[in-house]
Amino acid sequence: MDTEVWTQVIVVGAGNAALSSAVAARERGAEVVVIEKAPRQYRGGNSALTVHMRFPYDGMDGLTPLLSGTSSEDLRRMAEKIGRYTAADYYDDIMTVTEGKSAPELAEVLVSQAASAVRWMSSHGHTWVPTYANPVSANVVSFKGGGYSLQEQWFGTAEKMGVSVYYDTSAIGLLQDSQGRVTGIRAKTSQGYCNFHGEAVVLACGSFESNPEMRAQHLGPEWEAIKLRGVPYNTGAGLTMGMESGALPYGSWSSCHASPQDLNRPAFDVPGPDIRGDFWSRYSYPFGIMVNLNGHRFIDEGETWRGLTYAKIGRAILAQPQGIAFQIFDQKHRQLEVIRGYEKATGFKANTLDNLAERLGIEDIAALTHTVREFNAAIRQGEFNPFKLDGKSAIGITPPRTNWALPIDTPPFEGFPVVCGMTFTFGGLRVTPDCQVVHTMDYPIPGLYAAGEMVGGLWHGNYPSGAGMMAGTVFGRISGTNAAEEALQRKK
Ligand X SMILES: Cc1cc2nc3c(=O)[nH]c(=O)nc-3n(C[C@H](O)[C@H](O)[C@H](O)COP(=O)(O)OP(=O)(O)OC[C@H]3O[C@@H](n4cnc5c(N)ncnc54)[C@H](O)[C@@H]3O)c2cc1C
β-bridge pairing 200-203 and 9-12: parallel
- Cβ distance to ligand X smaller for residue 405 or 469: 469
Q: Where does this chain touch ligand X (CB under 6 A) — which range of 9-17, 243-251, 315-323, 380-388?
A: 9-17
Q: Is 47 in the site for ligand X (CB under 6 A)?
A: yes
Contacts with ligand X, 260-279, as mask; x by CB under 6 A: -----------------x--
Q: Output phi, psi for 309, to 5 deg.
A: -125, -30
- Kind and range of the H or E run holding 259: strand 256-262
Please report which residue ranges of 259-401 form alpha helices under DSSP H. 310-318, 331-335, 353-360, 365-378
Closest distance between ligand X and the C-beta of residue 127, in Å? 16
- Cβ distance to ligand X smaller for residue 37 or 306: 37
Closest distance between ligand X and the C-beta of residue 233, in Å? 3
3-state SS, residue 491: helix
Widest CA span of the chain, in angstroms?
A: 77
Q: Is 150 in the site for ligand X (CB under 6 A)?
A: no
371 and 297 in contact (C-beta within 8 Å)?
A: yes
275 and 269 in contact (C-beta within 8 Å)?
A: yes
Q: Is 215 in the site for ligand X (CB under 6 A)?
A: no
**By C-alpha distance, which of 410, 407, 432, 416 is closest to 482?**
432
**By C-alpha distance, which of 307, 299, 231, 262 is closest to 419?**
262
Please select the residue that binds ligand X; options are 198, 230, 302, 456, rule is CB under 6 A: 230
Q: Is 46 in the site for ligand X (CB under 6 A)?
A: yes
- Cβ distance to ligand X smaller for residue 96 or 331: 96
Q: Is 211 in the site for ligand X (CB under 6 A)?
A: no
Q: Is 13 in the site for ligand X (CB under 6 A)?
A: yes
3-state secondary structure 405-431: CCCCCCCCEEEEEEEEEEEEECCEECE
- Cβ distance to ligand X smaller for residue 53 or 328: 53
Closest distance between ligand X and the C-beta of residue 326, in Å? 22
Residues 405-424 contacting ligand X, CB under 6 A = 423-424
452 and 428 in contact (C-beta within 8 Å)?
A: no
Closest distance between ligand X and the C-beta of residue 280, in Å? 8
Closest distance between ligand X and the C-beta of residue 355, in Å? 33
If phi > 0 it is left, if psi is from -120 to 50 it is alpha, else beta; for residue 489 that is alpha
3-state SS, residue 184: strand
Q: Where does this chain touch ligand X (CB under 6 A) — which range of 70-78, 198-206, 211-219, 316-324?
A: 198-206
Provide the residue type at 176 as one letter.
Answer: Q
End-to-end alpha-carbon separation of the chain, Å?
A: 31
Q: Is 171 in the site for ligand X (CB under 6 A)?
A: yes
445 and 247 in contact (C-beta within 8 Å)?
A: yes
Q: Where does this chain touch ligand X (CB under 6 A) — which range of 152-160, 229-237, 397-405, 426-434?
A: 229-237
- Cβ distance to ligand X smaller for residue 176 or 235: 235
Q: Is 21 in the site for ligand X (CB under 6 A)?
A: no
Residues 448-487 contacting ligand X, CB under 6 A = 452-453, 466-469, 472
Contacts with ligand X, 85-124, as mask; x by CB under 6 A: ----------------------------------------
Q: Is 447 in the site for ligand X (CB under 6 A)?
A: no
**Per residue in 438-475, is it b (16+ CB within 10 Å) or e — as a string?**
bbeeeebbbbbbbbbbbbbbbbbbbbbbbbbbbbbbbb
Residues that bind ligand X (CB under 6 A): 12-18, 35-38, 45-47, 49-53, 170-171, 204-206, 229-231, 233-234, 237, 277, 423-424, 452-453, 466-469, 472
